[in-house]
Structure 1
Amino acid sequence: MEPDWLRAAGQWWLGTLINADRIRWGSVGRYRTSLTAHFGPFLIERGIDSPVLVTDPATMLRPFANDFLGWLRTRRAANGPNRGQPLSNKTISLTQTAVNSMYAFFVEHRDEAAFVLGDPRWRELTERHLVMWPRGETISVRRSDDAPEYLDEHDLSRVTAHLDLIGLPVSESRTIVVDGREREVFGLGDPQVMRAYLLLILTGRRVNEILMLDPQPLSSLLTTPGGHPDPQNTESEAPVSEFFVARLRYQQTKIDGAPNTIPVEQAVVNIIREQQDWVRDTILPTLTDGAEPKYLFLARKSNQRGQRPLGGIRQRLTDLAALIELRDKHGRPVDFQRTHRLRHTKATQMLNAGTPLHVVQRYLGHVSPEMTLRYAKTLASTHEQEFLRLTLIGTDGRDHDIDQHALLDVLQLDQRTDRILPNGYCLLPRPKTCERGNACLTCGEFATNATYLTELEDQRHSTLQLIETRRTQHFQRTGKHMTDDNIWLSARRSEVAALTLIIANLADGDESNTVQGAGVDGRQAMRKAAEPRKPIDLPLGPRPRGPLP
């Protein structure tokens, strides 16, 4: 990295942040690339050799920032799938973020930086250096909804069929078929990348979470279906590949407080053991005597103490893509080099298989279901099939007399979630808003099904407990018992009665029908929902006076 002052600053800045656990290793690599490949060359080309960047920050720093942004627009990618193309908005945005973050740090620690780095010029930074590009002036990155973030089963199987080329020695070759013609290709000689990619496919982890695995990342599960393995024995060879057989511990590199273990199947265990054997036979003899490797996947060069994880996986995958030239059904190159797509692929596979959302959330290491729902938008057909097989009932416990397809159309669950309640669904038509607060259990627009049975039973139990608590508090405060006509007590007892009817129906009812709700004979809203939907004319000009139709 050049100039020298930028290299020293980058090392101290990123080292300080990583030691303080303020950023993850993935961010370290991206920031370093932004400074090395873009900011440094720009400074050299412009002849700038001072961390202050300009002689008068108050008037010249903004033109400097705009000049750098324009320079980035003229640059072309030096490697990767977009080699030779203009830098993407994502790359430019990341570079802006890196420069902004570095200078914000140095403005806050300018005196310390001048002392540690031995360069008094850092004291000359001003508050103007805090933000090179104000909010709203950084390049926005928009993801196209047309481009899927997952690999379909056909493309993924074709990729895995060629992964052995990565691990094949460079002196050996294999014949493959490209565009209907046979081609002899030589191996890439990197079995670590091959095994790491297989783990990414099988586990759906982030790439850094795999590359930073501990040398011994496996532990036994307490139990597995059909067996009770010894928790101290992780070397069992039991042929139970259809079940989870071990627990994988990984480094959570993105979200503090998120889970960092997942159950894994026998195939994952086999790959990890193969990598451990390879490290023992190939890497350990090259390390300094007494060195203890820190990671399962290790860098081959400049790593005598075994403290650096494997890198360069993207380049190896790019090399493989050039060899096999895979194209999808639309004739576009299969972009399997972006390893985060494998995470979307794993989530899509789990959700399509009917895995509950909270289980997928835990498996992916997310802290909220909203984060996991980003993976669910490709599953509209699966969602519809699951929804249509459920029984919906109303607050009086009776089945709704409505076609399930019409109900799904009303709720538009694949497009919006504001009608999904903690204990069921709100059937209020989309243009309307609710004025009942949280009184769902006494509302004619409420419906639920058997998937919420546990929540409904818990709600009934807690409501009964709340009634007893409030009646006791009322007596202690007033010296009198709460009467049956108390407005609060009447509302709570109505909720309990509705919950009792609902739970009884869900526990004993048929799961093939829909339901009538809230003690109303033939709800008008439900009848309207079953009717064919008609287009609505939306005026594009000035809104006319008078009430809306």
Structure 2
Amino acid sequence: MMEPNFELLPVDDSPITTPTLVCSWCGGWRFVKRRKSPKGHQIYLCRVCGRHFTHNTDKFVPILNPEAEYEKDIWDCRNLGLKARIGRQQYKVNFVGIEQPWLLKAAKQYIRYTLATLSFSSGSEKVLALKRFSVFLAINYPTIEPADIDRSTIADFLLYIAGQNLSANTRCHTIGSMRSFFETCIQNEWVSFRRYLIRSEDFPKRLSSVPRFIPEDVMRQLNEHLSDLPEPVMRMVMVLTECGMRISELLFLESNCLLQDKSGDWFLRYYQFKMKKEITIPISRELVRVIQEQQRYITNALSIEKFVYLFCANEGGGCKGGFTASPKNMAAYTFSRYLNKLAERYNICDVTGSLWHFQAHQFRHSVGTRMINSGVPQHIVQRYLGHESPQMTAVYAHIFDQTMKEEVAKFHGKVVNVAGQVVESNVEIETADLEWFKRNIQAQSLPNGSCALPTISQGCPHANACLSCNHFRTTVEFLREHSQQLEQTEKIIDKAKANGWQRQVEMNEKIAINLRNIITSLEGTTDG
């Protein structure tokens, strides 16, 4: 293989297209000269990825033969032609720490094999499991050979990781990675392991996931001080708050992300890197204006550089005051840093008085939780968030069950229909407090309850017949009114019977029966 020839480049600012020097970040060969570093190294700006680099041998790594990279103990994905983890500057897989030579060799073969189908970051996670296994062997079985590893060894390993203060999910990932490693080595005849070393019963029970949503009180405090964030960061918060996308999807959201249908409604199109698919979701006109403002900002701020994304980084990172657009993507931790600095400045706290620590993924959980709590069907939430399975969306449904339980505990009494049957609801029904019903149903306030007629209905088909209507709802607050009405109804029935008014008798007896059922059910509430 010929050695790379690093030629001296022209001093002018025109794009350099010589392939003798490439960007150490993306391998691109279109770049321009910038300033020199304090150590005298020439700095270049890549026109492809927007990052700065030098051809200093300490930082610049030319594209090598992948076979040579595989021989190293630290692999750089840029030298293997692989993409780094989206949204994070993670470029390397580090095998340092795997002490056993046979395990190190097998680990490299295994990770190289998995990189054909898995992402680079997934390979890094599997290496971490192999390192744990290596440390375990070094402590407990320093001279063991692969053929000597049996179920007894694995049982000791399971006890070892159980005592490492790892979460149940992390232990599951570790055990799963080791099972995959053993089976792949056996299938490819790399190492003579025994079969079925790890079995299904070895996995600990995973804990139910609880969404890490942002409490409404914290969101209110954040919104109060949102204008103190740099304008691009403020718009990023607005997009996350409505759409609930992952931070990697926001950072790499392309500028031409807006779509409009024939009806004039707007949609946001973006790519989900985790699911490897593109999705389109409806958005509000308010958010459309926010995105259009950001599009104009990018056009004006980065008119010289070609930048295809909606959001960019600040020159110098998130530690500097103000915001000067730089033609590169913001790092995920930088976005969170802006919010946490704001929280410190204005003492944004939760109900316990503890300072709130913002994480970008909390916005996604908040959107999912809010949609579930607002009564949006779970399959719609699943499609909106781009979940592959209902189980992923069920994480947010769990908190809805908790919210229901808490809200029901606040009830002063039952909510019943005309038959005296308890109707589930997640709000307290009072004449002066029908806000939830006003948003979801017509909710006409009646002298002795409320109407639960759905919004899609075209008016009430029952004229003055609420006590014979299935849409009628009432609570214990109206118990006195129901008793008075029952007394009046019984007088009407007696008079109708005396005069032979059979139709009036039939109509009012039905109302009387419903009133008795309602009173019996509501009196049970007061007795309890």
Under a length normalisation based on structure 1, what TM-score does the superposition of the two structures give?
0.47
Asked which structure has the greater CA Rg, the reply is 2
Under a length normalisation based on structure 2, what TM-score does the superposition of the two structures give?
0.48
